[in-house]
Amino acid sequence: MMPGPRGARPSALVLLVLGILAPPGTGAAQPGAWVPAVGVLVTQSAATPIAAQGREAFEQGLADLGWTPGQTIRIEYRYAEGKPERLDGLARDLVRLRVDVIVARATASIQAAKRATPTIPIVMSATGVDPVQLGLVASLARPGGNITGLTLLNQDLYAKHLELLKEVIPRLSRVAVIASPGAPLTPAGHEGLEAGARLLGLELHHVEVRAADQIDAAFADIVRARVGALLVRADPFVLEANAPRVAALALRHRIPLMSWLQTFPQVGALMSYGADLPSVHRRSAFYVDRLLRGARPADLPVEEPTRFTLALSLRTARTLGLTIPPAIMARANEVIR
């Protein structure tokens, strides 16, 4: 390419190069400086503890990397309020705003972002299913498209939940498993759950709840089934958005409740075991930083969880007349007394 005319062009080029090489500042952006925009697509309501926790962790991750939300970076949050049918419209809204990166939390949000744009980089932040199996990325090592980020993938997670319940309740024989249709299991995830139950000699009673106003009816079904425990699957639309109510109903009916999400024992459930979600959302800021500095999502490997948290409520255990074995107490990262 022939060089352009002398004068303003070299100055602009120098400024552009300096802008790329310099780290993001902590002060207000200079007039005319590029302020990147990041869209964050969330399945829950902004008022839910899990959404607030995710926002705090993500913005802390950006701050750790030198970005100041509202000054050196603009963040556009879009919340689906627990309504999956809203996600496509919210994703298209972010595309219309011409954000530089989209951070999508939960599988349905990632799929909506993928449908909305084949070009804007998308950072997965907390998907509990295999992104390769869903066709979101070509492989974890080489994503190959405009999507990268983090997965909570652990096909043995639900089997581990059943194992923990069996340790606490040795005579356990029947477990209810509840989720909404908006949070389906992949074949591998379903097989992992069923295989874990067979290994432990447990019978599973599956319960579907489509909306918050069906939670009471779902618990009536669970009580009629005479289960010894309840496993809440990953479900950002109905169950996680109503964690206090779900935990309260389980406690009222004296049913030990297990989830993957820490917020459940914090509001009255017995236990949770799963990837440390705040650290995942904090780590998603690393991907945003890399992408804004010119990295291609196709070349950034998808990360799997490395830190898992076991949380339990001794207060709930006492209410249910259960004794937590010393081995589980020793492994617990969070104990609510």
Is the pLDDT score of 26 beyond 60?
no
Q: Where are the alpha helices (DSSP H) in the chain?
A: 8-21, 49-64, 87-96, 107-116, 157-168, 187-200, 215-224, 243-252, 263-266, 277-292, 314-320, 326-331
Please give the class, per CATH, of domain 34-153+277-306: alpha beta
pLDDT in tens, 252-286: 999 999 999 999 999 999 999 999 989 999 999 99
Do 312 and 324 touch, CB atoms closer than 8 A? Answer: yes
Do 44 and 83 touch, CB atoms closer than 8 A? Answer: no
pLDDT in tens, 159-208: 999 999 999 999 999 999 999 988 878 777 888 899 999 999 999 999 99
pLDDT in tens, 88-108: 999 999 999 999 999 999 899
Return the domain boundaries, the chain: 34-153+277-306, 157-276+309-336
CATH number among 3.40.50.2300, 1.10.645.10, 3.30.70.141, 3.30.300.130, domain 157-276+309-336: 3.40.50.2300
Residue type for position 240: E
Q: Classify the phi-psi angles of 268: left when phi > 0, otherwise alpha if psi is within -120 to 50, otherwise beta.
A: left
Buried b (16+ CB within 10 A) or exposed e, 171-198: ebeebbbbbbebbebbeebeebbeebbe
Hey, what are 122's tokens?
Answer: 């998308």
Residue 8 phi, psi (nearest 5): -70, -30
> Mean of the pLDDT values across residues 227-249?
94
pTM for this predicted structure = 0.83
Per CATH, 34-153+277-306 and 157-276+309-336 having the same topology is answered yes
Helix, strand, coil shares of the chain, percent, nearest 5, are 40, 20, 40
Higher-pLDDT residue of 295 and 304 is 295
pLDDT the model gives residue 14 = 38
Residue 298: pLDDT band by 50, 70, 90 thresholds?
very high
pLDDT the model gives residue 185 = 80
DSSP code of residue 32: T
